[in-house]
């Protein structure tokens, strides 16, 4: 029952993210709105960590299973993607390097900022 109530809290926050996505005309996915709401809720104490922690851990543990539908969709779209395979690979490599570099720089900035304090 604990998992069900925790999952309900996460779903409710995700639903509010979906509503915000419909209301606010920005090109931001609803899941990002939901994650930001959950983050703000955890920081402000509106949502207690203990009220979502166990279900959050469970969802992270089964995360690889959640990628199966997307992978099947890519396999089904293989015929359409073959013409653009080189472009897809280049874009994937460049975006991976950019994201890794940005994450590294931000992490270094935060660590240096904490060290100075």
Q: Rounded mean pLDDT of the chain?
A: 93
**Chain centroid offset of residue 5 CA:** 21
How many angstroms separate the CA atoms of 60 and 11, rounded? 15
Q: What is the pLDDT of residue 29?
A: 93
Domain locations in the chain? 1-66, 67-117
- pTM of model > 0.75: no
Digit-coded pLDDT (tens) for 48-104: 999 999 999 999 999 999 999 988 988 888 888 888 889 999 999 999 999 999 999
| φ, ψ dihedrals at 26, nearest 5° | -115, 150
How many angstroms separate the CA atoms of 84 and 114, rounded? 44
């Amino acid at each position: 029952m604990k998992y069900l109530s925790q999952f309900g809290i996460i779903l409710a926050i995700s639903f509010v993210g979906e509503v915000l996505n419909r209301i606010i005309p920005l090109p931001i996915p609803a899941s990002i709105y939901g994650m930001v709401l959950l983050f703000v809720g955890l920081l402000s104490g509106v949502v207690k960590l203990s009220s979502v922690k166990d279900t959050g851990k469970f969802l992270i543990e089964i995360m690889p299973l959640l990628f199966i539908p997307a992978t099947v969709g890519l396999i089904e779209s293989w015929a359409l993607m073959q013409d653009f395979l080189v472009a897809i690979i280049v874009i994937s490599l460049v975006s991976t390097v950019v994201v890794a570099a940005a994450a590294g720089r931000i992490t270094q900035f935060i660590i240096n900022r904490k060290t100075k304090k």
